[in-house]
Structure 1
Amino acid sequence: MRGLEGLAHVLDGVAHASGVSSSAGTKETAETKQLDALLPPVGSALVEAGQGKLDEAIRDVSEFQTLWQQVSQLKPEQDTGQVTALAATVNDALAKTQTALQGQDADSAKSTLSDLARAVNAYVEGFRGAEGSSDAGQKAASRILPDARTSLGAMQKADWPLAERTYKRIVTAWKGVEAPIRKDHFGVYSQLEKQMSLIRIALQADPRKETQAVQQMSAMVTLLTDYSEGTLKDEELDEAAGASEGASSLAELLRLLEQVQQQIQTGDSGGAATGLEQFIAAWPSVEGQVQIASPASYTAIENEMTEASGYLVSSPPNTDKASAVVSRMMERLEPLTETTAYTAWDAALILLREGLEAILVLAALLAYAKKSGQAAARRWIWAGAGSGLLLSAALAVVLTLVLAVASSGSTREMIEGYTGLAAVVLMLTVGQWMHNKSSTRAWNSYVERQVGGALARGSLWSLFAVAGLAILREGAETAIFYIGMAPSISLSQLLIGIGGALIVLIILAIAIIQFSVRLPVRWFFLTATLLIYYLVFRFLGESIHALQVSATLPAHVAPNLPSLSWLGMYPTWETFIPQMVVLLYLIVSLIRTEKRSARVSGSVS
């Protein structure tokens, strides 16, 4: 696991395949065995290419090609085209590998074999994901359970070489099973990650922490057994839920590492070891974010956190090596903590835009009612606005409470993502509506229809409803926008933004409603539209990113893609392509509406 990244990846797959194939027994279907048989020959070929044994590597690749021809004929139950695309990637990587081997180019062969291993691993995961099984997580857990039992039995008999070999098979098999477990039950996933790390720490300690290794492996076997068989006990459910609720931010984990480093330097090895255990327990809540932002940092930290812990629990503790490893972890995490944060300006922008629109609507309704000589109408308009404001506040409280109860672990991130996408849809529709009203003539026509119709019918309740619904719409949109933004903004920044916007809105409301100050409607709406389109672009990227972190959406990282936190841009194709499509739509929409406005102005002139 400390070799070349490509080699480590393939060896993980090889051990996973061999471990699963040798221990899953009669529970495995023929299809599962065929999929599991793909990676071993590729892994062997990579090892042989690294040793310069290209003729042996050619034989292994030929064996893989035979297996692949059989597997590529299999069809998953719910293939939407993704598995077909992954198969094409495997075919392309295989062709390049064969060319490199035939040319006796060892360096090129190692590179193409690493690509082939990654492509095969992605195909296997994609195929299993397309099977659509509702118990995919439980089946995945059952694939590593036999090795866990074997390792536990070996530990209890003090056969530590066998215990370590089977444990390594579990670690390497984990890459192929963690995704469905994480998606199905984040709490179980977090517990398993923690137990595997603590077992590794116990095995790496000098001398070995045998009691801790047995205790953690026993707990892991119990959890895997009950989870895979669907018989999780209440206490296990509580412990798993507690693991998912212990979510931390990257900034908090970085501060925890800084504290660990200080404890190491002051000689408090026990406190530092406890701090690293806390880091390991919290790591699953942020690992998805790290993996998307920097795959290399994710892989390194996965190994370094247990390596540092092993140094600290050794007798005597190796503080020099532990300090060096913790320093590397801090260096990897520090650049990643600077991303995905909204500011007070972003918070103020939402309330200013929604609040100004509500004030403008209310002022226009009041002015038109005054012009018509209907004094009673103004009271009904104010009553409707007050009711709309109260309903907006109640809706915000209900949404916040419901989402707080429903959100935990990856579910929290998934809800954040979906809420953000809902805000994007609202912003697009509202932004388009605002841009269409960006001429004074269109705005006056809109107000006349809203109020004039109600007065013509002699219905003061209609005025109440028009004002109430106008304010309720703005309030509901504001609530949804802030719920989507809340996870990525500090409370102080959120309060500063809201407070500042409220002060500005109060001043504007008094000026517009009390003193009849006229706003340049066209420029107000044009400016507000451009600002809301900026938030559309950013919310879209942040929301898709949240769904990737929760494993709801895949993440294909491309280091050459831009990574700009203030625009919500991440180096993945799943965020980049939708943002470019929306950007094109926004530009075309602005140009089309401006041309239409120019034609209307010309005809009026």
Structure 2
Amino acid sequence: MSRIADRKTQKRPYKGRLMRSLLMLLVFLMVGSGVIRMPHASAEGLQNNEPSVQKQLDSLLPPVGSALVEAGQGKLAEATEDVAEFRQLWDAASTLVPEQNADQVATTASVVGDALSKAEQALSGNDSDAAKKALADLARATNQYIEAFQGAEESSDAGRKAAERLLPDARKSLSAMEQGEWTQAELAYKRIVTAWKGTEAPIRQDHFGVYSQLEKDISLVRISMQAEPRKEEQATERMQELVTLLTDYSAGTLKEGEVEDASASSGVSSLSDLLKLLEQIEQQIQAGDTTSAATGLEQFIVAWPLVEGQVQISSPASYTAIENEMAEASGYVVSNPPNTAKATEVVTRMINRLEPLTATTSYTAWDAALILLREGLEAILVLSALLAYAKKSGETAARRWIWAGAGSGLLLSAALAVVLSLTLAVASSGSTREMIEGYTGLAAVVLMLTVGQWMHSKSNTRSWNSYVQRQVGGALARGSLWSLFAVAGLAILREGAETAIFYIGMAPAIETSQMLIGMGAALLILIVLAVAIIQFSVRLPVRWFFLTATLLIYYLVFRFLGESIHSLQVSATLGAHVVPSLPTIGWLGMYPTWETFIPQLLVLIFMIFNLIRTEVRSAKGVSKASV
């Protein structure tokens, strides 16, 4: 290690304070944005308490960060040397074994190994963009490995203690089953279900595989006991599996690979996959193939933990109902004879609950048209006002400069839209897609709020004419044609930039066809209005246009805010405190979590206050002008 450091210092002497500063800035930005989180200072959970172990972990991130900075500067050769240094450090650090949860740490170590191989491959191909992405992935994976290693003992303690609380009732229920005392067995089982609600969180956080298996075993015990007649042998076997898993997990003797992966065993990885599975089960029940339907429902139960968080955030009522209905439907299917009518009824209810949650389209052609109509009509009003004032001045050249400025602004807007779209398309690949969607939507919210306030401040004709006169009158008085060009160009560029931001924020939640229909219809309307206003000097009710546009933009602000925060919750970037009593209104972007409700409430109060304040000021201005 020291030889490597000496070699690097000799070969790259310029990498002194500047490189360290850049690296510190990079780490700060990544920490601040949540890309990586700083590891704990303590070394609890390590198999060995020697300082060298902590130093090995602490030495992993700096060379990756350095390589990332160099890749961003196009210095791929030097980035390759940093990655080679990391490879040597990793070969030593990856052999460390924590006291608990060795399988979880091994999983994160495997991710680091894959990310390291991809980074080396990208660097060898001299592809700067691919190298930056691969190195960023390597930095995240390394940070996850460090956190998993250091937090293994702390998290496993909480999970094991939670499992220990379930064990007494699980053993009582098993003992009662073996003695044929099913009333006592059911009472003990109900206590397990009641206690599970308070113990599942720490178990899930510590070991998702154990959590998934426990949910499966608890549900299958219930199914066996609810069957008509009761499947006593199967219930006993499932309870025995539950007791064994709780015992091994709480004692820390769970073997690596003993718990199966939920997504691999079920073949389901998303809410849409789960809905398709339910639809297939419904068809099997209707066809009388209850054996296949029972297998499918078991797959559903296994896969449910993978998506239950998303369902709970979107609809707590649906989450609670499905938790009960999946076991109820299975009980009807495995009964002898199977109760296909009841099973079909329950599965159909489950499908109806999940369908709204899997819909990918949140916005319609009307929403898409609204954005372009609002921004486009504003741009037309600005342009028509500029041309009207130029015409009054009697300078024909001024009109040409205004049109040239407007054309330049339109071209720059189109270029900006393309750049933003391509940038976000790259950034939103993979698991970060919803996170990017959330942040983009929040940026649109901020922009729309500022635009809405500006528009409402111009919602009377006197204020509008005063605004135009200040912008154009000054340029004409100075005889500055370039000023007219700049005013026209910046006005159109501003509207175009706003439109691009709005559409990028909306794009993930609307079908392409709906967006194109909305934009096309709005464009046709704008062409007609532009000809009428500019060519024939048709007057629009400026006050009512701006007031209406303000109300519409505030609707989009409210909805964008809820949808964007929801995307961050689904991506696990933001937490979710679900409250079933809070309203769930899809077309308003309202979800039953405090994280969405409180910001929307504050924004609503701000918008109402701003509307009232501006209306009062406008009324006072009109009364003064009439005196």
C-alpha distance in structure 2 between counterparts of 1:41 and 1:567, whole Å: 44
Which residue is 1:484 aligned to?
505
Q: Which letter does structure 1 place at the counterpart of 2:535?
A: Q
* Alpha-carbon offset, residue 36 of structure 1: 3.8
**403, 408, 427: which is aligned to 2:424?**
403
Which of residues 182, 191, 195 is equivalent to 2:264?
A: 195
Q: Is the 8 A contact 1:342 1:488 kept in 2?
A: yes
Query: Is the Cα–Cα contact under 8 Å of residues 253 and 279 in structure 1 kept in the other structure?
Result: yes
Matches within 5 A, 1:103-502: 192-197=261-266, 250=272, 254=275, 257-258=278-279, 261-262=282-283, 288-295=309-316, 297-298=318-319, 327=348, 329-337=350-358, 341-502=362-523
Which of 135, 159, 162 in structure 2 is aligned with 1:39? 162
The CA distance in 1 between the partners of 2:247 and 2:393, in whole Å, is 79
Counting matched residue pairs gives 437
Q: Is the 8 A contact 1:340 1:542 kept in 2?
A: no
Is contact 1:428–1:536 with CA below 8 Å preserved after alignment? yes
- Give the Cα separation in 1 of the matches to 2:379 and 2:276: 43
1:419 to 1:531, Cα distance in 2 relative to 1, 3 A = same
1:195 partner letter: A
Cα offset for 1:335? 4.6
Structure 1 pair 561–437 and aligned structure 2 pair: CA distance change class (3 A): same
Cα shift readout 1:26-66 (whole Å, capped 9, x = no counterpart): 97766445434542454357769999x9xxxxxxxxxxxxx
Closer, same or farther: CA 277–370 of 1 in aligned 2, 3 Å: farther
Q: Distance in 2 between matches of 1:442 and 1:425?
A: 24
CA distance in 2, matches of 1:114, 1:262: 31
Structure showing greater radius of gyration is 2
> What's the TM-score, normalizing by structure 1?
0.60
* Partner-residue secondary structure (3-state), 2:525: helix
Superimposed CA distance per residue, residues 353-374 of structure 1 (whole angstroms, 9 cap, x where no aligned partner): 1111111111111111111112
How far is the alpha carbon of 1:306 from its aligned partner? 11
- Choose 591-600 or 301-310, whichever is displaced more: 301-310
What SS class does the counterpart of residue 570 from structure 1 fall into? coil
Partner of 1:587: 608
Q: Identify if the C-alpha distance between structure 1 residues 601 and 50 changes in structure 2 by more than 3 Å, giving closer, same or farther.
A: farther
Native 8 Å contact 1:340 1:568 kept in 2? no
Q: Alpha-carbon deviations, 1:542-576, whole Å to 9, x = none?
A: 11111111111111111111111111111111111
Post-superposition shift, 1:535? 0.8
Task: Provide the C-alpha distance between the structure 1 equivalents of 2:244 and 2:466, rounded to a whole number of angstroms.
Answer: 73
- The residue aligned with 2:563 is 542
Structure 2 distance, partners of 1:488, 1:282, is 25
Equivalent in 547, 557, 579 of residue 558 of structure 1:
579
**How far off is 1:337 after superposition?**
4.8
The answer for unaligned runs of 5 or more in structure 2 is 1-97, 106-148, 177-186, 215-236, 251-259
1:423 Cα offset (Å): 0.7
Task: Evaluate the alpha carbon distance shift between residue 349 and residue 142 of structure 1 in structure 2; reply closer, same or farther with a 3 A threshold.
Answer: closer
1:521 pairs with 2:542: yes
Please name the residue that 1:599 is paired with: 620
Three-state SS of the structure 2 residue aligned to 1:559 is coil
For residues 429-463 of structure 1, the C-alpha deviation after alignment (integer angstroms, 9 at most, x for no partner) is 00000011112121111111211222233322222
Cα displacement string for residues 54-82 of structure 1 (whole angstroms, at most 9, x for unaligned residues): xxxxxxxxxxxxxxxxxxxxxxxxxxxxx
State the Cα distance separating 1:585 from its structure 2 match: 0.6
Distance 1:279 1:511, change over 3 A: farther
> For the residues of structure 2 that align with 1:140 and 1:594, how far apart are their CA atoms?
57
Mapped to 2, the partners of 1:280 and 1:497 lie a distance apart of 41
Relative to structure 1, the CA distance from residue 143 to residue 277 in structure 2 (aligned partners, 3 Å threshold; closer, same or farther) is closer
CA distance in 2, matches of 1:283, 1:41: 24
C-alpha displacement of 1:506:
1.2
| Secondary structure of residue in 2 paired with 1:476 | helix
- 2:125 aligned residue: none
Output the amino acid matched with 1:43. Answer: L
Q: TM-score if structure 2 supplies the norm length? A: 0.58
SS at match of 2:574: coil
1:207 alignment partner in structure 2: none
Structure 1 residues 434, 115: CA separation in 2 closer, same or farther (over 3 Å shift)? farther
Question: Any conservation in 2 of the 1:197–1:306 contact (CA below 8 Å)?
Answer: no
* 597, 600, 603: which one aligns with 1:576: 597
Q: 1:42 touches 1:117 (CA, 8 Å); kept in 2?
A: no
Q: Does 1:511 align with 2:529?
A: no
Q: 1:31 to 1:275 in 2, by over 3 A?
A: closer
| 1:197 Cα deviation from its structure 2 partner | 3.2
Q: Distance in 1 between matches of 2:248 and 2:528?
A: 62
SS at structure 1 position matched to 2:568: helix
How far did 1:405 drift? Answer: 2.0
What SS does structure 2 have at the residue aligned with 1:557?
coil
Kept in 2: contact 1:437–1:525 (CA 8 A): yes
- Partners of 2:298 and 2:512 lie apart in 1 by 28
Structure 1 contact 21–37 (Cα < 8 Å) conserved: no
2:315 touches 2:592 (CA, 8 Å); kept in 1?
no
Equivalent position of 1:9 in the other structure: none
1:349, CA displacement in angstroms? 1.1
* 1:39 aligned partner, one-letter code: A
> Structure 1, unaligned stretches of length 5 or more?
1-19, 54-106, 129-138, 148-159, 174-190, 199-242
**Measured at CA, do residues 603 and 373 of structure 1 come closer, stay the same or move farther in structure 2, by a change above 3 Å?**
same
Partner of 1:226: none
- Identify the range of structure 1 (337-346 vs 576-585) with the bigger mean alpha-carbon deviation: 337-346
Change (3 A) 1:47 1:287: closer
Closer/same/farther in 2, CA of residues 276 and 170 from structure 1, 3 Å limit: farther
Q: Percent identity?
A: 67
- CA displacement 1:317-350 (0-9 Å, x = unmatched): x996997875454243135356962122211111
Please say if residues 261 and 323 of structure 1, whose CA atoms lie closer than 8 Å, have aligned partners that are also in contact. Answer: yes
Is the 1:340–1:566 contact (alpha carbons within 8 Å) kept by the matching residues of 2? no
Q: Is the 8 A contact 1:21 1:36 kept in 2?
A: no
Cα distance, 1:441–1:297 mapped onto 2, change above 3 Å: closer
Change (3 A) 1:162 1:288: closer
Paired with 1:394 and 1:279, the residues of 2 have a C-alpha distance of 47
Q: CA deviation at 1:298?
A: 4.5
Q: Determine helix, strand or coil for the equivalent of 1:342.
A: coil
Deviation at 1:590, TM superposition (A): 0.8
- CA distance in structure 1 between the partners assigned to 2:294 and 2:474 by the alignment: 73
**Alpha-carbon deviation of 1:261?**
4.0
| Distance across 2 between alignment mates of 1:482 and 1:266 | 46
